[in-house]
Amino acid sequence: MKKKNNRHILFVLPALGLFSFIMIFPIGLTLVSSLVEWRRFIPQSFGTLEHYGRIFTDPVLVKAFRNNFVYIGLTLIFEGFIGLVLAGIAQNMKRSLGFRAVIFAPVILPSIVIGTLWRQMYATNGGLLNALRELIGLEPLVWLAPPYTMLSVSIVSGWIFAGYFMTIFYASLSRIPTSVLESAEIDGAGPMRIFFRIQVPLIKNMIMLALLVITTGGFKGFDLFQILLRRDPLQSGVVLPTYLIRTFFEHKDIGYGSALSVVLTLVVLLTMGIIHFGNKRFVGEIDEY
C-alpha cells in the first residue's frame, strides 16, 4: 500500500460526486418534499405532516400493501421454490447446460418484451393461454382481473426469475464436495431425500439471500405491474411502486407521492433488517458452499 496522501481521494471524487448527486441528495429532497404543501410543482409552505397523516386513512394504500404481501408470497414460490427445484433437477442431470441456458434466457430480456408478450398470451381473445384451455375443454379465463390479477402477474415474475435463482442455487450446490453426497448415497438415500435433507440445508445461507432478494424485490417491482395491468380501473393489482408513481406523476400529488416513497424506502430497509437479524439469530453462520 502506498503511503498516506489525502490527494488520493481524487480517484474517488468522480464516483462520489455522481453517486451523491443522483442518489443521496435526492433522498434528502424527497424527505423535504414530503413535508411541503405543494400546488402541482410549486411549493406553498413547509412543515406539514398532512401527507403522513393521509397514509393512515388511505384505503388504496391498504390495498397496495395487501397486494404486495400476496405478490411476495407467490413469488417466493414461483421464483424461489421453483428455482430451487429446477437447480435440483439440473444437479441430477448428466448435461444440464442447455436446460439451464433456456430457463435463464428470460432474465436477459427487457421487462417490456416479456410483459407485452405475456399480456398477449393472457388476452381473452386471441391469447395463447385461453386457446390452450379451450383445447382441453376448459372455460376461458379473464387472467388480468380479480381474482386472478396477482396470480397472473406473479406467474410472469416466476417465469422470468426462477432461472435466476436456479442459477445461483445451482452454483452453490455445485460447491458441495461430492464426498458428502457419496456417503449419503451409500447409506441408501434416494435423490429427493439427498436433495432436501442434505443439499438444501447446506446452502441455507444462499436460500436466505434469495429470500431477502425476493421479499425486498416484491416491494420494489414496478415494470410488470405497469406493463401487464395498464388498464386496471378497479386497482385490483395496485402495489406500492405503481401507486407511488401514479400519485406523483399522473395525479401530480407531489407531497403525498414523496411521503409514499419515504414509506416504501422504510418498508424495504425494515424488511432487510428483519431478515438479516432473523438470519443471524435463527439460522446462524455456517459453512457455505
Q: For residues 50-89, which are near another protein according to CB under 8 A?
A: 85-86, 89
What type of residue sits at position 123? A
CB of 56 to another protein, least distance (A): 20
Residue span binding another protein (CB under 8 A) among the ranges 46-54, 57-65, 72-80, 264-272 = 264-272
Q: Does 138 bind another protein (CB under 8 A)?
A: no
Q: Which is nearer to another protein, 150 or 224 (CB)?
A: 224
CB of 144 to another protein, least distance (A): 12
Q: Does 270 bind another protein (CB under 8 A)?
A: no
Q: Which of 49, 60, 113, 234 binds another protein (CB under 8 A)?
A: 113
Q: Does 209 bind another protein (CB under 8 A)?
A: yes
CA distance 99 to 161: 15
Residue span binding another protein (CB under 8 A) among the ranges 54-62, 73-81, 144-152, 219-227 = 219-227
Q: Does 289 bind another protein (CB under 8 A)?
A: no
Angle at 166 between CA 225 and CA 106, to 5 degrees: 45
Residues 25-44 that bind another protein (CB under 8 A): 25-31, 33, 41
Q: Does 12 bind another protein (CB under 8 A)?
A: yes
CA distance 38 to 156: 38
CB of 205 to another protein, least distance (A): 10
Q: Which of 270, 272, 274, 286 binds another protein (CB under 8 A)?
A: 272
Residues 175-204 that bind another protein (CB under 8 A): 188, 190-193
242, three cell numbers: 405503481
CA distance 14 to 98: 42
CB of 5 to another protein, least distance (A): 6
Q: Which of 39, 197, 230, 251 binds another protein (CB under 8 A)?
A: 230
Contact 100, 91 (CB under 8 A): no
Q: Does 22 bind another protein (CB under 8 A)?
A: yes
Closest CA to 78 of 210, 233, 175: 210
Residue span binding another protein (CB under 8 A) among the ranges 51-59, 62-70, 143-151, 248-256 = 248-256
87, three cell numbers: 437447480
Residue with cell 427445484: 85
Q: How far apart, in Å, are the Cα atoms of 275 and each of 75, 84, 205, 211, 281?
A: 17, 19, 12, 8, 10
Residue span binding another protein (CB under 8 A) among the ranges 45-53, 56-64, 73-81, 106-114 = 106-114
Contact 215, 72 (CB under 8 A): yes
Binding residues for another protein, rule CB under 8 A, total: 102
Q: Does 174 bind another protein (CB under 8 A)?
A: no
H helices within the chain, ranges in order? 13-19, 25-33, 50-55, 59-75, 82-91, 97-108, 111-121, 128-135, 149-174, 178-186, 191-193, 200-202, 204-220, 223-228, 240-245, 254-278
Q: Does 172 bind another protein (CB under 8 A)?
A: yes
